Chain A
Amino acid sequence: MAKQLTIFVENRAGRLKTITDNLRKSNIDIRAFTIQDRGDYGLLKLIVDKPDDAYLALANLGCACALKDILAISVPDQPGNFHRLTSALAEHNVNVIDAYGFVLQPHKTGVCCMEIDQPQLMKAQEIVAEAGFTVLQDEELYSL
């Protein structure tokens, strides 16, 4: 399963730079990122090519960070596809905690990353596959 790196970052100037600087030094390639704002702090969520290396690099620095399993779903970039996906999950009462998406050119491959409650994660993976979507395994995602 794909791994997402979540990093606790104080909401003040220069904090992101410290993190990106360390990822750069460790030769980590960032595939996608998003920041969740919580007022005085934020959560930086990253998809990177070498999640374990990235985690170690930041943990050694003393950062509060966590690696967690997420669903990375390949969603072809066409009208209605995201709706098909959310409908399938809703039908089975699966709650999505957080999600973000990105589109890779030139093949117009859409990737949707979803955080799902741990107990529902395996079930969600099956539902998504049944609905006709491809769940990307970690290597697939990192080598896109």
Chain B
Amino acid sequence: MDIPFWNREIETLDRASLEKVQLERLRQMVSWALKTPFYGRKLASAGIGSPEDVKSLRDLERIPFTVKDDLRRGFPRGLLAVEMSEVVRIHSSSGTTGIPTVIYFARDDLDRWTDLLARSITATGASSRDILQNMMTYGLFTGGLGLHYGAERVGMTVIPIGGGNTKRQIQTMKDFQTTVLHVTPSYLLHIHSQFENEGVRPGDLAVKRAFIGAEPHSENTRRKIEDLLGIQAFNSYGLSELNGPGVAFECVHRKDMHVWEDAYLIEIIDPKTGQNVEDGQEGEVVLTNLVRRAMPILRYRTRDLAFVHPEPCECGRTHRRLSRILGRTDDMLIINGVNVFPSQIEERIMKVPEVATNYLIHVDKKGALDRLTVKVEIYPKLFLGEAARLEALRARIREELRSSIVISPNVELHEPGSLPVSEGKAKRVVDERPKD
């Protein structure tokens, strides 16, 4: 097989040389991080006052972890290492408490991120001859713009269609003979389920590949996508705190994702003890950004559970591979690619006076798509016996939630006292999605 490379030299670097690059870049990162009040304190507590204090990669373990809360507490500029005039883009994820997690990019940061995506795309065999339909959400979410720029750098023809509007997605695939899709697996399955309605036969389309990510899925789901659409589906991993997509990507062999180790240091830790575990053992993914100047992030606890493959890949890349994400250490739900914390939902609905104290979050699948239902009890003292007011209440709760968690849930109104009462730790989430 002819293996395509974007940057063969760096992608096939032997381990010793790769580690040399990593150490050099880690020192650079430390020097940038020291400019921020947040890491200034954090690194001082670990006895690191200058880049020279990092003698080897093992010194990384001296640095305390960074968690999502740190990013929120530092809002808005506590982790910013450059002047705002140097920042050319801001991305952000919605916060559990209403404080978003903001990520800043300097021009050179965007350039390096874009290059990682060009590398990722090329590793799948896609090239400038391809037409990419990017169905990830654009805007503050990193999935849309991140991959967009990488694809342009590869020279692909990019259709920045964004998410939703299935009819138009299918028509666009047909009109422009799209060859590559960037999409969440659940949405791709949903689109496939609409082919017949739209009068589309597989032969009408030119799609060969799909980059799938932004939500956990099983190998069965991938196989299903590949069989139903007659394409190859490549797993993608990333998170906004570490830029976005392009942290790890599958190559043509589709046997787990190469972590671009010249740009990210990956550790797998025991989430309870915080100690590093051996390659091959499951644990929490911890990532250190090696190439971001405007907002350095060191040892970020992702909450994602996975393991690392140390064995070399047939493609010749030396960068180790990351398994698919096997779960989470926190209660974050991923609904059709969107991260949702139950606490975000609670925060909003508890502000609505007509809602009593009990609620339940229910997740299941309707066809290929995730469906979120928020069940609330109505507060009897504010009940006026009017259906119109109840429907207005339902609409108001839906809108409150949509503005906070981006997706519009079903809202069910229940009798006071009818939802299960919490005993001890409340069970607020029922997730009935098949694990297949």
Binding site for B on A (CB under 8 A): 4, 6, 8-10, 15, 36, 38, 40-41, 43, 59, 62-68, 97-98
Q: Using known A-B contacts A38-B390, A38-B391, A64-B378, determine if residue A9 contacts B415 with beta carbons closer than 8 Å.
A: yes
Residue in chain A with minimal CB distance to B388: A97
What is the CA–CA distance of A64 and B414 in the complex, to the nearest angstrom? 10
Q: Is the CB of B418 within 8 A of A10?
A: yes
Q: Is the CB of A65 within 8 A of B390?
A: no
* B386: A residues at CB distance < 8 A: 6, 97
Interface centre among B378, B390, B412, B415 (most CB of A within 10 A): B415
Binding site for A on B (CB under 8 A): 378-380, 383-388, 390-391, 412-418
* A63: B residues at CB distance < 8 A: 380, 415-416
Q: Using known A-B contacts A63-B380, A64-B380, A65-B380, determine if residue A43 contacts B385 with beta carbons closer than 8 Å.
A: yes
Q: Using known A-B contacts A8-B415, A9-B415, determine if residue A66 contacts B387 with beta carbons closer than 8 Å.
A: no
What is the CA–CA distance of A62 and B390 in the complex, to the nearest angstrom? 18
Q: Using known A-B contacts A8-B378, A38-B390, A59-B380, determine if residue A65 contacts B413 with beta carbons closer than 8 Å.
A: no
Show 7 residue pairs from A and B whose CB-CB distance is below 8 angstroms, ordered by the A residue. Answer: A8-B378, A36-B387, A43-B387, A64-B383, A64-B416, A66-B385, A68-B384
**Which of A6, A10, A59 contacts B385 (CB under 8 A)?**
A6
What is the CA–CA distance of A97 and B388 in the complex, to the nearest angstrom? 10
* B378: A residues at CB distance < 8 A: 8, 64
What is the CA–CA distance of A67 and B385 in the complex, to the nearest angstrom? 8
* B388: A residues at CB distance < 8 A: 97
* B385: A residues at CB distance < 8 A: 4, 6, 43, 65-68
What is the CA–CA distance of A8 and B379 in the complex, to the nearest angstrom? 11
- Beyond A6-B386, A64-B380, A68-B385, 7 additional contacts (C-beta under 8 Å) are A40-B412, A41-B415, A63-B416, A64-B378, A64-B379, A66-B384, A97-B386
What is the CA–CA distance of A9 and B380 in the complex, to the nearest angstrom? 12
* B379: A residues at CB distance < 8 A: 64
Interface centre among A4, A6, A98 (most CB of B within 10 A): A6
Residue in chain A with minimal CB distance to B390: A38
* B412: A residues at CB distance < 8 A: 40
Least CB distance from B430 to A in Å reads 16
